[in-house]
Chain A
Amino acid sequence: MLRNSRSEILVALVLIAPFCAVYGLVFVYPTIKMLLLSVTDAPLIGPGEFVGLDNYTRLPGERRFNTALWNTTYFVILSVVPGTIVALLIALGVNRLSGRLQALVLALFFLPYILPVSVVYRLWDWTLNFQFGVAMHVLDWFSIPRIPVFKTTTWFMPAVAFVTIWWTAGFSILLFLAGLRAIPVEIYEAAALDNAGRWNTFRKITWPLLWPVTALVLTIQLILQLKIFDQVYLFSFGGRPNDTMVLVQYVYTRAFVSNQGGRAAAIAVTLFFIVIIVSVLQFQLLRLAGNSGKGDDK
C-alpha cells in the first residue's frame, strides 16, 4: 500500500478516540473502581477502610445472598430454555402463514417487546391481580382456586419468568423467522419428494439448519436473564422482598437502601464473574452440542 502508514494511524486514533473516551469513562474506570471498592467498608458515597476479603467471605453466610443466588439461578432456568422453545414454536407457526395475516400475527406477538418494563409490569400486575384480575376469573370458571401469584414464593419466580417470556419472546421469534427463511425451499421440496413426515422434516432439516440461530438466541437470553432486576423489583413491591431477591437487586439494596457501598460492590463483583464464567461455559457447551448435532445427521 502506498499510503503513509503514520497518517493512517493518526486517522485511526482520531476515529477511535470518542469511543475510547466513553468506554474508558463509563466502562473501564468504573470496573476498576468497583474492584477497589469491594475490599473496603465504604458507604455509597465517601471513603472507607480497607477490609481485605471480608466482604466476600461473609457472603456465603448471608441469608439474602443465598436467596438471591438461588432465585437468579432459578429464574434463568425458568426463562432461558423455556423462552427459547416458546419462541421457536411460535416462529414455526408464524412461518406457515403468509402475506397480511402473517404481518398481523407477527405484530401481535412482537408488540410486547417494544413496551417499557414498567408498562409490562402494570399490565400483568393488573391481569393477575388476586381480587380483580381477569386471569383469576378464568381460574374461577374452571373451579381452580385463585393463586396470589406475586405474594407467594412458590409462584413468584415462575410468574415473573412467564411475564418475561411474554415480554421478550418477540425478539427471539424474529431471529428464528430470519433463520427459517434462510433455509432454501429446495431442501424442503426434496424432503417432500422423499415423503418425509412433518416431524422427520423438522428433525432432519429444520432443527440442524436452525441450530446456529438457536445457539445465538440461547446465548443472548442467558446473558440477559442473569442480569434480571427490573421485573423482579417492580413485582416484589409490597410483597416479600427478602424472599424474592435476585442478585442485581441485592446489589441495589445493599448500595442504595442500606448505604453499604463496599459490601454491595463485593456482590456486584461476584455476579460479574458468575456471568463471565457461565457465558464462557455456555459458549463451549453450545459449540459441542452444535458439533454433535451435525454428527447425528450423517
Chain B
Amino acid sequence: MKKFDKERVLVAVAGPVIALVAAVLLTSVVLIASGKNPFEPYRLMLEQAGYSDVQVLIVNQASLYYIAAIAVALGFRMNLFNIGVDGQYRLGAMMTAVVGAHVALPSFLQVPMLLLVGALTGAMWAGIAGVLKVTRGVSEVVATIMLNSIATSVIGYLTLTDNLGVLVGDNVTTGIMKDSGWVPGIDLGQDVGEIYGLVFLAVALGIAYWLVLNRTRFGFDLRATGESETAAAASGVNAKRMVLTAMLISGAVAGISGLPLLLGDVHTYSLSFPAGLGFTAIGIALLGRNNPGGIALAALLWAFLDKASPALDYAVPVAYEKEIATIMQGLIVFAVVISYEAVRQWGLRRQQKQVGAQLAAEAANPNAHKEVAA
C-alpha cells in the first residue's frame, strides 16, 4: 500500500518540478533571443537571496501572498474561481485601516477586532458574488471580476478627503492607525529589518486550512463538491449553501491578506498600498497545487523573484532588466497549468494499469495472500 503513497508523492511533485524547469528553460530562451547571457541573471538573483535583509523582505512579502493564495485555493478546492481576491483584499485592508484610525481599544482587543473587520469586509464583498451565484446563477468569475472594479471605485470614493481620506504630503491616506493596533514584528537589527508579526497568522491559517479540509466533515463536503458536484449532492451536500459558505470563507481570508503589511509596517491605507496581490495569488495557488505546503513554497518563490530581481538593474559589469522575473512568473503559470493536467492524466492512467496488472498477477496466483487482509 505504501507503493501508492509514493506514487501520489511522485505525481504531486512531478507537476511543479516539470513546470519550473520548463519555465527556467523558456526564460533562458528569451534571454538568448535578446542577446543576453542565459544563466547570469539566475546567479545574480540567487546571490541576492543570500543577504539577510532581502530574506526578510521575501518572508514578509510571502506572508501576504500566502494568505491571499489560501483564499484562492479554498475556492479552487470546490471549483469556485474567486478572481475577486484582489478587491476583497484591498477593501478589507482599507476598512481595517479606517477603523484602526478611529477606534482605540487596548491592544489585546484592538488587534483581534481589526482582523475581524478585515475578514468581515472581505467576506461581505465575496458574499455578494456568492449570493448572486446561488440565487441568480451568475458565474462567480464574472461577478468577482466586476466586484474588483467596483471595489476600486468604492475605495476611491471613500478615500476622498471629503469622506474618510486624510492628506499626508501629496498622498491620500486613511489616516495613521492608533498604535494599539500596531502588531510588533521581530526586529533582526538595524541593517536587516523586521519580520512582520502577522507572518505567524499566515502560518496559522495554513495549518487551519489543512485541518479544516482534511480532517473535518465540512472539509470533506467541500472537497467532494469540488471533485464531483453530482456525487456530492447525492451524498447529501447542499450545493447552494456550500457555494455560499465557501465564498464567504474565501472572502474572509482574502480580507485579511493585506493585514501583515498594514498592521506591521505602513499603518495606513494609501494610494501606494500594493494592488494586484489577489491576481498574483491565483498563480501561487495554482503552482502550490492548493496544498498548504506547496502554496508556502510557491509564495516564497514568487516573493524571491519579486525581491531579488530589482538588483538585476544595478548589476555590474552588465545590467539586466528586472522584468526577467516577471517573464518568468508568467511562464511558470503557463507551464504549471499544462504540466499539471498532463501529469494528472498520466498518473491516473498509470495507476489504472498498475491495479490491472496487480490484480491479474493475483488472479494468476490464487495462493498469494491478499494484501488487504494484511
A, B in one complex: no
